[in-house]
Amino acid sequence: MSDWKPRRFWTEAAALPVTGGYTVQLDKRPVKTPAKAALVVPTEALAQALAAEWDAQEEVVDPNTMPMTRTANSAIDKVAVQRAEVAEMLAAYGDSDLLCYRADSPAELVDRQVAHWDPMLDWAEAELGARLSPRTGIIHAPQDPAALEVLRDRVHALDPFELAAFHDLVALTGSLVLGFAAFLTTRSADEIWEVSRLDERWQEAQWGIDEEARQIEALKRASFDDARRFLALLHR
């Protein structure tokens, strides 16, 4: 297996306006996506963040240190060419939303889920126009088709750049409702994340903290924060 990595060849990375938005140039060479498409993003703020990531590279290019660039590449190379399929996949989370599947015991866990998850379902009804209903246990029980259609329409209304980041918000929390709460910035990142980790926090309280699991969670949380930042730059 080759361990070859692209090396830095440029002196300056700059964000510049082009037809259709903004791009990044490396010593006046326009950056391409991995699929060789033009790297053009909708806002100058996002392009400047991409340029900063390229400018921060040292001897070799490390994609792991370039989350904004990775998400932009994904939006162009993957999401844009199958937008409807990606939107449909994310909308499907509504029918199996984390917030709707409740424990039947112990009472303290049941009470915690009610206290932290019910307000988010109430928020979804008030702000998104979709009422999802909780159920006890892990066996799937379909949600109201009308509510799912409202959520589906909202997901399909997102553009490829929004969908690319929204994918991470939903997949990392396991919840379409929490994904929208993060997307619309109606709750702090800390609150949304902790709501999504309620069951894990309960397990930790009973059995202690698993350091390996916490390390994995830290990586997921960083990706969640990166997705929120990408959207903030996209909407600036």
Spatial separation of the C-alpha atoms in residues 220 and 216, rounded to whole Å: 6
Chain-wide mean pLDDT for the chain? 95
56 three-state secondary structure: coil
For residue range 31-48, what is the model confidence (pLDDT) as tens digits?
A: 999 999 999 999 999 999
Tokens of 134: 């909780």
Furthest C-alpha separation in the chain: 63
pLDDT of residue 52: 97
Judge whether 71 and 230 are in contact, CB under 8 Å: yes
CATH for the stretch 82-234: 1.10.3580.10
pLDDT of residue 3: 55
pTM for this model (two decimals):
0.94
Tokens of 215: 């390390």
For residue range 201-219, what is the model confidence (pLDDT) as tens digits?
A: 999 999 999 999 999 999 9
For residue range 91-119, what is the model confidence (pLDDT) as tens digits?
A: 999 999 999 999 999 999 999 999 999 99
Q: What string of H, E and C letters represents the secondary structure of 97-149?
A: CHHHEECCCCHHHHHHHHHHHHHHHHHHHHHHCCCCCCEECCCCCCCCHHHHH
Q: Choose among 16, 14, 35: nearest CA to 26.
A: 14
Boundaries of every domain in the chain:
1-58, 82-234
Domain 1-58 architecture: 2-Layer Sandwich (3.30)
For residue range 61-100, what is the model confidence (pLDDT) as tens digits?
A: 999 999 999 999 999 999 999 999 999 999 999 999 999 9
